A and B are shown apart, each in its own frame.
Chain A
Amino acid sequence: MDLAFTPEEQTFRETIRDWVTAHLPSDLSTKVHNAQRLHREDMQRWAKILGAKGWLGYSWPTEFGGPGWSAVQKHLFEEECALAGAPRIVPFGPVMVAPVIMTFGNAAQQARFLPGIASGDVWWSQGYSEPGSGSDLASLKTRAERQGDHYIVNGQKTWTTLGQFGDWIFCLVRTDTTGKPQTGISFLLIDMRSPGVTVRPIRLLDGECEVNEVWFDNVQVPAENLIGEENKGWDYAKYLLAHERTNIADVNRAKRELERLKRIAKTEGVYEDVRFRDEIAKLEVEIVALEMMVLRVLSAQTSGKSSLDIAGLLKIRGSEIQQRYAELMMLAAGPSALPYIFDAMEAGWQGDQVAGLSGFPGGNVHNAPLASTYFNMRKTTIYGGSNEVQRNIVAQTVLGS
């Protein structure tokens, strides 16, 4: 047993840190450190910088052009990026669909799709949830009917994160209605510019359009876009869910946000209030405990042991912690969290002459996004399998019944 990283891992961390320091544009890190609005160009700029270095697919094996890093190295890369204030890598391409294409796709599909994902040029979206299929994903109804060398797709997906920017979407579609719901699902890659695809952004409670509805109206999809075998899509989706489970806890980002929470609490004068500071202290303990749990999973992965019984806990705990730091930041600002000024969440906002605002009320524009972030974070215990569904899974493992 040893808590310390090896000297090689420390050196690796230094290398990553130096590179990120040299290549992360400071306007991007300023936005991230202050939770200002990130636009498509912001996210893609960082993706392409990583892509040019070969690190957008940082979890990829060397045979597909990735760096072939170990679980610990991947974690250190994520940590250095998070602490430096890099925008999150939009996961749908490099983290989610790419491993499925590598594992279950054919050589032609790999040659066609992986380079665009690795470079950051092609934006991928995820088509899983439907209006009638949330936690009960296997009940999905979007139909794909084989007609010659095409599938004809009809139906509706929803909660498609950042789908308004999507070039391609990977979808779970129903190809068979006989037998168990899980056995009639296929994994299909669809060009979002195909005729019959309609994307409608959904405004969320924070005023932002982070997710979308996506309609498919007799969309023709070449049969060569089917991943693996027809009706085996559920297995591929489960593989995807099992992939990269430590990342879902997002403990590295939590460490960065804890620092930000302390800054805000100091600026707003509540850090010296013991009752408030104790709440931060509790969160600090929770984050250290989560980080230890992540390190345990990494250690198990490194030594080739199964750690599934604790990996499932990471999503629950990580999402609760995300919600808590967002809540405490909002509460630290207190009354200053109340002004809802949409444009003040943009970097460089200098007030609004037309509306008669000389600046953000009270003067600290960094308070502008705090309530919105709190509202936005309610999603974390709902998405990716709601925390109640996660508890069912944990209980199943523990009770064995």
Chain B
Amino acid sequence: MDFNFSEEQIQLADAVGRWVEKAYPFERRLEISRNGGFSEEAYQSLAELGLCGLLTSDAYDGMDQGPVEAMVVMEQLGAGLVIEPIAQTWIASALIQAFGSEALKSDWLPSLAGGTQRIAVALNERAGRYRWQVCETHANNDQLTGHKHVVLGGADANAYLVSAMHNGQLALYLVANGAAGLRAEPYATQDGGRAVDLYLKDTPAILVTADGLTAGAAAEAMGIAWLCAEGVGIMERMLAITVDYMNTRQQFGKTIASFQALRHRVADVKMALELARSMSYYATLKLNAVPEERDQAMARAKVQLGQSMRLVGQACIQLHGGIGVTDEVAISHYFKRLTQMEMQCGDTLHHLGRVSDQMQATAGVFA
């Protein structure tokens, strides 16, 4: 039992932190979100740092790192409010690496790691809300028909990993952008990023795996673990920004940091942050556990994160007062990202239901 980071992990976090500071200041983030919600230049720059292929095997030009490395990177990207969909790239790469044929791997993994191509994961549909297992899209002779809803980071992707029913089972397919019968309708999202809805009609696709349930569960688990890490990075930065503001802003002749009602809210924010960090560690360290144990951990973690993100987001806006609800300050943009994350990979109530339905007599970190 050890929660210390290795020297290499600290260096990795520092390198990403320095990149954010230098290449991705708030003004840059604002400009990107106002101009389409994705910067090819920023993404290439992240690829040069090796981040796109962080988890990919070195046989496919990746860095061959593990969940803890992913976590420390996501914390830093969260702190910088980086909008480019690195986590999507990791999930897509991991699915292809775990389930894809050799041809798929050599076709896609090196270019995903190099940042020259991107794949977005399209599992959810409108009817199923957060239940990606509910799938009306179907496959017929490797042609897909259906509708995939709010595919985050999917605008201008080179391909999509699309779930579809095949012979009564959930399967996972790869669909190239521009394939016949595919219509991708892009739009902005609340956090300043981009998403697409995909409409498929007899769209040619390549089967990645017939075991879509296993692949989907793995995708969701990764998504949750990295949202948790990103959320911790965001909340930590929001607290720091708020502390600076409170120690500067004067009312009634003194800094607002001196008022006990506000100080107690700061203590509550710190509590929520540290509970979230604890559960982010937990999620990351359970990412490679057997699926049942892993998924229980992810559900618990997302419940804690949901509660923490709501409290921290709302409190930090409130502690800023009127300036907190303007578009010009960073804090409101952090808040919007945090809010969107609640509705990614299942919200608090969705996962509370999972925890509740699967509770055992004994419970704890190790059970």
Contact = CB atoms under 8 A, between A and B. Distances in A.
Contacts of B282: 3, 288-289, 292
A296 B274 CA distance: 10
Contacts of B55: none
Interface string A107-120: 00000000000000
Interface stretch (B11-19, B29-37, B262-270): B262-270
A6 B359 CA distance: 27
Interface string A255-281: 100110011000000000010011011
Chain B contact surface mostly: helix
Contact of B359 (A277, A300, A400): A277
Given A278-B352, A285-B355, A287-B363, A395 B281 contact: no
Contacts, number: 149
B83 interface: no
A392 interface: yes
Interface residues of A, number: 54
Interface stretch (B1-9, B117-125, B169-177, B331-339): B1-9
B188 interface: no
Contacts of B5: 1
B353 A278 contact: yes
B66 to A, nearest CB: 10
Interface stretch (A60-68, A128-136, A310-318): A310-318
A287 B364 CA distance: 7
A17 to B, nearest CB: 14
Interface in A20-69: none
B2 A1 contact: yes
Interface residues of B, number: 47
A296 B276 CA distance: 13
B363 A258 contact: yes
A401 B3 contact: no
A202 interface: no
B139 interface: no
B270 A288 contact: no
A399 B271 contact: no
* Best-surrounded residue of B267, B271, B279, B356 (most CB of chain A within 10 A): B267
A287 B279 CA distance: 11
B343 to A, nearest CB: 19
Given A291-B365, A293-B274, A398-B270, 6 more contacts: A286-B304, A299-B1, A299-B2, A302-B2, A313-B271, A392-B260
16 contacts: A1-B285, A3-B281, A3-B365, A3-B366, A259-B361, A277-B356, A281-B355, A282-B303, A284-B359, A285-B352, A293-B278, A298-B1, A317-B275, A395-B263, A399-B247, A399-B257
Interface of B: 1-6, 9, 68, 239, 243, 246-247, 255, 257-258, 260, 263-264, 266-271, 274-275, 278-279, 281-282, 284-286, 300, 303-304, 352-353, 355-356, 359, 361-366
